[in-house]
Amino acid sequence: MIDHIGFPVSDYPRARAFYLEALAPLGYGLVMEVTQEQNDGTVAAGFGANGKPDFWIGGEGGLNKPLHVAISAKDRATVDAFYQAAMAAGGRDNGAPGIRAHYHPNYYGAFVLDPDGHNIEAVCHAPE
């Protein structure tokens, strides 16, 4: 069910170095980093195994960011349905359904803020 999770850190370089070492025995390494321009002003590092980043940390303003949880969706229509249902339930828009090509060409996600301000995402990685 969980596709990936991310949370803010107080010192991005220190946390990045920590997780590089701490996660290595688990077979996790740095898969990708996202720039501030690509990520609403927050630099982020995605760690994972087999090329898929599923554990994220964010810094450079990241403490102002909420917890982020992404839930896997079977197809793009399900992502759209999640977004509509979450908005109808009182969620706040944090990114309408669409392609996020800076992650990869088939990354289709939608983002909503729950009543506590946590960033909840539905994501589909499959081609259209």
Give the structural domain span for 47: 2-64
Confidence at residue 52, expressed as pLDDT on a 0 to 100 scale: 92
Confidence at residue 67, expressed as pLDDT on a 0 to 100 scale: 84
CATH code for position 115: 3.10.180.10
Confidence at residue 58, expressed as pLDDT on a 0 to 100 scale: 87
Same domain for 73 and 48? Answer: no
Q: What is the mean pLDDT of each run of 10 residues along the chain (128 residues)?
A: 89 91 91 86 90 88 73 95 94 96 95 88 94
Same domain for 104 and 119? Answer: yes
Q: Which of 12, 103, 23 is nearest to 57 (CA)?
A: 12
Q: Say which residues have a Cβ less than 8 Å from residue 10's Cβ, sequence separation at least 6.
A: 59, 63
Same domain for 58 and 6? Answer: yes
Same domain for 12 and 43? Answer: yes
What domain count does the chain have? Answer: 2
Confidence at residue 64, expressed as pLDDT on a 0 to 100 scale: 62
Same domain for 82 and 52? Answer: no
Count of C-beta atoms within a 10 Å radius of residue 91: 18
Same domain for 74 and 49? Answer: no
Q: Say which residues have a Cβ less than 8 Å from residue 43's Cβ, sequence separation at least 6.
A: 12, 33, 34, 35, 36, 58, 59, 60, 62
